[in-house]
Amino acid sequence: MAYKLLFVCLGNICRSPSAENIMNHLIQESGLTERIICDSAGTSSYHIGSPPDRRMSAAARQKLGFKLKGQARQFQSSDFQEFDLILAMDRENYQNILYLDPTGEYGQKVRIMCDFCCHYDLKEVPDPYYGGPEGFNQVIDLLMDACGGLLEHITNEGFD
């Protein structure tokens, strides 16, 4: 059975689809495509059905050499059962996810993405939406670091 990851930000057009695509790239490079499955979602309904933000895609193409794929969707309570680990991009999204779990049954599945960074010491992945190109580039660098650390964490912990 595959280990399932869900990356979550606000609108699911910048940070979380970038994390999903970067993680899928690292998983493929590691030969683990049968063992780890990724998806992404947003806590809001602003962009449901939209592709990743063009500025985010441009930064990914420039820095990583590939185009971001995906279609925005909203986080749902059923995601708690569906996924083994839910990764929030910042504290606000973390709280919004936990709010949908009033009994606290799934709290141990929800983590902050930056907890897995190995080289950066930021505590949250900043939202680049209202900024310039440097913000999108920073998000790619930060997510490369965090996804690398996350993959190492998952492979060290085992998949059960």
Q: Which residues are catalytic?
A: 9, 15, 127
Name which of 14, 13, 12 is nearest 42 in CA terms.
12
Tokens at residue 38, please?
């990724």
* DSSP at 158: -
Residue count of the chain, please give it: 160
CA distances from 125 to 11, 30, 118 (A): 14, 24, 14
φ and ψ of 62, to 5 deg:
-70, -45
The span from the CA of 20 to the CA of 27, in Å, is 10
